[in-house]
Structure 1
């Protein structure tokens, strides 16, 4: 697993600190470099071996940033970043998780009031100090005060898309340890929840000491938090990684137990009790002949536990995929033989929401097309931003720009080994209006309509109005939610899904880990109402096409099958849906 996301996060921190110190131009360069590194197909650590010239192969990475990347891999740190941290010793991630507080605000509040943490920000807001700082005021202070609780909760959990690569790295490392017979991620990261607490990894081994020793000596670890006989915890960058080692013949029981969720496990234990069985992290036991089933964890005749499948089979159930284990009817469905045949990543055959350098993407139309073809897609829609609300910095295309771009898309389509659709990401106004003229929309293959502003309160009427527009094909990131930053719109999903099904408009699962919108809790009722789902990456460079896995697993959490997904169809099937 590459370390691209790790380096990108450092550069984003660099940008935030520079912006907080009111440095011009540089923050934007660092953010662009971070985005391109995160999406680059090659591992940045391998490019860094070749020195600055190797790193500069990545678009948007110049001499200064390349030298810092090389320095990081050679020394484990970046001296200038450490200096910025010392000059501005703030918890930037926590403070900027408060809606309306950006890096510049953090810098101003530090200079004026010495605020470095969420607790200090809350204290200042409660005492009325913030409103006296130039550029703030009573309204801003009130908004900050209201946003603290959400920010505090968000700061305690990490984005799946940031944590999962670390989970993949630790799993790969432990799989190479001779003493480790079985290795798997557990907890919420295995259930692919949109945010997680810690990275949990489970190992089945009859030599726990050897596994713990290898884990504690992993060269990727910054700090060993604790290391015991069968448990250990490390700090890798900003992530806590927790290891638990169990006996090989109890691995399946432990994996089922520690994957959760708690509600799912309670449902299973009650089913076990009804069958005179005892179910726990050590196995499943027949206690029908036991006088006191609570006398110990392993009392009774053991009837399963080496594999997860044995745990479910003992309860007369098929194995239930981790994404479904949220106690939303999955146990009853399993008992009735009615579990869905869940969508697989390989079922997705194209992407209907991507961006190029025509708006805020990092690559040309040809580069995106070739990247999608190399990724294995059969088709790709180019859907650059239109002008309108939420488009900061003039990155949106005018109607005239869109007409011009169609010609270029058609020209590239004739020359690449992938089918291209000409599209747009139009903006859904607060009144449900679409920000592109109807006559332009009619000339496009794919119209993705997405809300970008006024993202609070009930958005059902607004979104239904957008869905009912005759030229809209996909409702993009419907709630406008940004994970750990804002909640987004409230939606009556039943009403929206009914409208989408009636109008043949797909509801998007936006695979960008910062969005994952709509999430599994909304996907399930949408699918049940007959709505079609589109799983798109919102990619701004070829490398982020791989975000599709996060969208697929989010859709799986909503019980989605391949037949429910628009872009699991072949090109002809998509054309038919789009009326082309």
Structure 2
């Protein structure tokens, strides 16, 4: 099954190869098409297979030429023009551009000058001192490449939760349609909402193992059956592996707890159980206080829980813990003392402070984005297009004069809207931690999100100082995607989140959880560290079109991984309170 994410990846590769070949304009068109294809609410391949070519052409940013390539890929598994580009530039672009500071143009130059095609080629050239001899490079760039090779090699082995979770939802829907399935749920890192996952793990309970597994491997979305046995099966759907495990109904809860993890959480929970004469495993919770050798077997002792996951924790005198918390970061102690957080939910979110329109790199008008926010039931909504500055894609940032012109348009739309509309901007945090906005522009705006977009290879001390200076700036309301990372692409800034969180708390600057599944920045442990310093967060989508307002799903679960409660999230506050917070 060709997924939207798979199609989007092909067009992103198109854009990269064209950019590497110094082609102008076209890369931007392919990137826009990729974004719209990835965010499309339904499988585009279904429209192709139904012969509905018009529906494909009508996707924003997809005209006749790109829709033809979509049809070609769905029907044949390749795009002839892309294959020709690959032959001209035989570069492992996805791997090479995961190195911080190596973009498509740089990769193209390294290929032409040194014949670099892979990470191994790049490592060999850097270790030989050849990279610094290329015009435009130098010893610092060469050292940066060597420092980032390990990251580039490891991240590509995992999938974004924003790509894998929709597939998991489809798997659950299919399993729930099977009569023999009594219960089913995802497990593993995807249930804990980690930002990247290895495989999609799914658990079912049934008394008819064979029927369930036979039906699962015959699912029409399956591209390949990796293995199939009496209790588990593994298949490939698109580029993602799905592992199904089947258990008896009375062990569903214990298996779900066990296979959800994390490993560290489970080890600590098992030790907690041992101290209380209990034994936990995937088969249940057992009272072994009267057993001479509790390790004599998996089911030794009196079984006191296992049918439900809640029962597993209750057997230890603990409340159920949300999967997002199960990383062994203090959740067991908090549960024991009754101090588990009341985690934020999607229903708590009242607005979005960081979104884009066609004024910069978005795809829709101000009115269209405000209408979409209104339909979501938001109380307020912020437009924050890019200001001009280093690192802004395609040089599409707004000048001071253009920002003031846009503010006027935002006010006009806001006057007719059913929700409050905030006029904002996404300013650029430069290498020193400053933003380039005039006092006139600052005074005209309701909200200023400031984000790092360049110089993302600074050392930790420099990066920390840079971000601290930014949050100390009285004009800045929200520090956007603080590290600047792109998952599976670049690592972004390495900095001390404790220091930044402390400064943000002192200066009433919120730290953003950017909900774009390619960012999720801040991430869970960083959110937790910032909140411990008293900082507040903003869960923003960075949406570039109406459909990507749904990215809030990923942001909320990321914030939950950081123990965030509604009061910690400024856009879970009412309009009066958030206006008081905004500088």
TM over 0.5: yes
Q: 2 CA distance for matches of 1:131 and 1:326?
A: 42
Q: How many residues align?
A: 579
2:307 paired residue number: 306
Displacement of 1:361: 1.0
Q: TM-score, normalised by structure 1?
A: 0.93
Distance 1:280 1:239, change over 3 A: same
Instruction: Confirm or deny: 8 A CA contact 1:39 1:542 kept in the other structure.
Output: no
Displacement of 1:28: 2.4
Please show how residues 358-397 of structure 1 align to structure 2 within 5 Å.
Answer: 358-397=359-398
Q: 2 CA distance for matches of 1:538 and 1:354?
A: 5
Matched, 1:420 2:418: no
1:571 paired residue number: 575
Please show how residues 484-523 of structure 1 align to structure 2 within 5 Å.
Answer: 484-523=488-527
Please show how residues 316-335 of structure 1 align to structure 2 within 5 Å.
Answer: 316-335=317-336
Displacement of 1:178: 2.3
2:208 paired residue number: 207
Distance 1:206 1:20, change over 3 A: farther
Instruction: Confirm or deny: 8 A CA contact 2:94 2:489 kept in the other structure.
Output: no
Distance 1:131 1:426, change over 3 A: closer
2:533 paired residue number: 529
Structure 1, unaligned runs of 5 or more? none
Q: 2 CA distance for matches of 1:499 and 1:136?
A: 35
1:405-424 deviations in Å (ceiling 9; x for gaps): 11100111122333210011
Displacement of 1:460: 2.7
Distance 1:106 1:240, change over 3 A: farther
2:291 paired residue number: 290
Please show how residues 269-288 of structure 1 align to structure 2 within 5 Å.
Answer: 269-288=270-289
1:445 paired residue number: 446
Instruction: Confirm or deny: 8 A CA contact 2:131 2:137 kept in the other structure.
Output: yes
Distance 1:519 1:117, change over 3 A: same
Instruction: Confirm or deny: 8 A CA contact 2:100 2:492 kept in the other structure.
Output: no
Displacement of 1:54: 1.1
- The more displaced of 407-416 and 309-318 is 407-416
1:73-110 deviations in Å (ceiling 9; x for gaps): 44555454455556666543223222233344545555
1:188-207 deviations in Å (ceiling 9; x for gaps): 11111122222211222222
Instruction: Confirm or deny: 8 A CA contact 1:38 1:543 kept in the other structure.
Output: no
Displacement of 1:24: 4.6
1:476-527 deviations in Å (ceiling 9; x for gaps): 1122222233333333333322332232221111111222111111211322
1:33 paired residue number: 33
Matched, 1:405 2:406: yes
Instruction: Confirm or deny: 8 A CA contact 2:3 2:238 kept in the other structure.
Output: no
Please show how residues 158-307 of structure 1 align to structure 2 within 5 Å.
Answer: 158-307=159-308
Please show how residues 42-81 of structure 1 align to structure 2 within 5 Å.
Answer: 43-45=43-45, 47-48=47-48, 49=50, 51-75=52-76, 77-81=78-82
Instruction: Confirm or deny: 8 A CA contact 1:523 1:560 kept in the other structure.
Output: yes
Distance 1:378 1:46, change over 3 A: farther
1:553 paired residue number: 557
Q: 2 CA distance for matches of 1:224 and 1:394?
A: 46
Displacement of 1:114: 6.1
Q: 1 CA distance for matches of 2:149 and 2:237?
A: 27
Instruction: Confirm or deny: 8 A CA contact 1:232 1:242 kept in the other structure.
Output: yes
Matched, 1:540 2:544: yes
1:33-66 deviations in Å (ceiling 9; x for gaps): 1112223445534554363321122221110111
Displacement of 1:231: 1.9
Distance 1:105 1:169, change over 3 A: farther
Distance 1:219 1:22, change over 3 A: farther
What CA RMSD, in Å, does the superposition of the two structures yield over aligned residues? 2.5
1:383-411 deviations in Å (ceiling 9; x for gaps): 11111222243211111111111110011
Displacement of 1:148: 1.2
Distance 1:17 1:489, change over 3 A: closer
